[in-house]
Amino acid sequence: MAVNNSKPAVRRRVHKGRVGGCLTVLVILIFTVSTIISGCTKKNGGNKEKPVINDVSVSQESVTDVSQDTVKKYIICIDPGHGGEDIGSSNGDRLEKVDNLRYATEVIEEFSRRDIEGIEFEIVTTRTSNDVDMSNKERAAFGNNAGADLYLALHRNHSTDRTANGVEIWVQQQAEVIDEVLGYKLFKYINKVGIQSDRGLQKGYTNDTQNNFQIIEYTNMPCCIVELGFISNDEDNRLFDEHYKEYGKAIVDAVVELCQEGYLDKVQD
Ligand SMILES: [Zn+2]
């Protein structure tokens, strides 16, 4: 390698000598040309002073417009899954519809406790009691009619295999980037609270990736289904009981971050 390197070094030196001479000529040429050009631009620059001042006044107006819009409002639909006759899944006396409302209530209360500069949340919810019967179509229509910017369906998972555990988040098969970003943010904050396992972001429908869950299919805004641990797994239930308030905060953290990064503005525009 040393032998090969020595030749280009010599060539460069010879080349530098030639270039040095050329450079001198070039510098003189560039100096002459730039003197002529600067003379021209000075004339034009004088004429351009007024438009520059106009530009400043325009930007001041736009700054005023921005300040009027600094508080951005987002409508978030919280949908505690199941309710009424539809108990969801169960484990002994433990009913999914009750667990879902339990952490959904925490999410809603956490939103009301947050005071985030420049962001205002309006929270709408499909139910505040365990006696409400609503089909998935009715729930989605509720979110759509409310003009929600984001829809969160809150559930718990179930399996006949009682060792199955962890958190799953479902998005649409043809997910917009926003749905996926929200999914990953939810995992980021829920993982911090502590879960048995992260089962990852899932698309479509269980065992059928060509179809979406109804709630995802019928809603017309970014939507995630959160399956917060398995009701059929004892350790997931223990974690749920211990941390459901923190999980609620984690979900709000994810939504706040999504809004602060402007993802929902792209939808609103
Ligand atoms: Zn469910």
Residue 17 — very low, low, confident or very high, per pLDDT cuts 50/70/90? very low
For 172-196, what is the mean pLDDT?
92
Residue 1 — very low, low, confident or very high, per pLDDT cuts 50/70/90? very low
Q: How many angstroms separate the alpha carbon of residue 72 from the centre of ligand 1?
A: 32
Q: How many angstroms separate the alpha carbon of residue 153 from the centre of ligand 1?
A: 9
Do 110 and 234 belong together in one domain? Answer: yes
Do 34 and 101 belong together in one domain? Answer: no
Q: How many angstroms separate the alpha carbon of residue 82 from the centre of ligand 1?
A: 6
Q: Please write the tens of the pLDDT for every residue from 238-256.
A: 999 999 999 999 999 999 9
Do 184 and 95 belong together in one domain? Answer: yes
Q: What's the token pair of residue 219?
A: 């809603």
For 91-115, what is the mean pLDDT?
97
Do 76 and 66 belong together in one domain? Answer: no
| Max CA distance (Å), the chain | 93
Do 126 and 152 belong together in one domain? Answer: yes
Do 142 and 53 belong together in one domain? Answer: no
Do 17 and 89 belong together in one domain? Answer: no
Separation CA 170–CA 225 (nearest Å): 5
Do 52 and 156 belong together in one domain? Answer: no
> How many domains is the chain partitioned into structurally?
2
pLDDT, position 228:
98
Give the residue, 20 or 132, on which the prediction is more confident.
Answer: 132
At position 71, the amino acid (one-letter code) is V
- The percent of residues in the chain predicted with pLDDT above 70, rounded, is 72
Backbone angles phi, psi at 252, to 5 degrees: -65, -40
pLDDT at position 168 over 60: yes
Residue 257 — very low, low, confident or very high, per pLDDT cuts 50/70/90? very high
Q: How many angstroms separate the alpha carbon of residue 165 from the centre of ligand 1?
A: 15
Q: How many angstroms separate the alpha carbon of residue 88 from the centre of ligand 1?
A: 5
- Write out the residue range of the structural domain in which residue 81 sits: 72-268
Last residue of a domain, one of 43, 70, 97: 70
Last residue of a domain, one of 27, 43, 70: 70
Do 60 and 177 belong together in one domain? Answer: no
Instruction: State the chain's mean pLDDT as an integer.
Output: 81
Q: How many angstroms separate the alpha carbon of residue 87 from the centre of ligand 1?
A: 9
Separation CA 231–CA 155 (nearest Å): 10
pLDDT at position 13 over 80: no
Q: Please write the tens of the pLDDT for every residue from 207-231.
A: 777 778 889 889 999 999 999 999 9
Residue 20 CB burial class (10 angstroms; 0-12, 13-18, ≥19): exposed
CB-CB contact of 203 with 209 (8 Å): yes
DSSP labels for 36-99? Answer: HHHHHHHHHHHHHHHHHHHHHHHHHHHHHHHHHT-SEEEEEEEEE--BTTB--SEETTEEHHHH
Do 137 and 7 belong together in one domain? Answer: no
Q: Please write the tens of the pLDDT for every residue from 76-90.
A: 999 999 999 999 999
pLDDT at position 205 over 90: no
CB-CB contact of 152 with 76 (8 Å): yes
Give the residue, 139 or 9, on which the prediction is more confident.
Answer: 139
Backbone angles phi, psi at 167, to 5 degrees: -105, 135
Do 63 and 93 belong together in one domain? Answer: no
Tell which residue, 147, 141, 126, has the closest CA to residue 218.
141
Last residue of a domain, one of 70, 93, 126: 70
Q: How many angstroms separate the alpha carbon of residue 207 from the centre of ligand 1?
A: 16
Give the residue, 6 or 232, on which the prediction is more confident.
Answer: 232
CATH number at 238 reads 3.40.630.40
Residue 174 — very low, low, confident or very high, per pLDDT cuts 50/70/90? confident
In sequence order, which ranges of 114-158 are alpha helices (DSSP H)? Answer: 136-145
pLDDT, position 30:
53
Do 253 and 263 belong together in one domain? Answer: yes
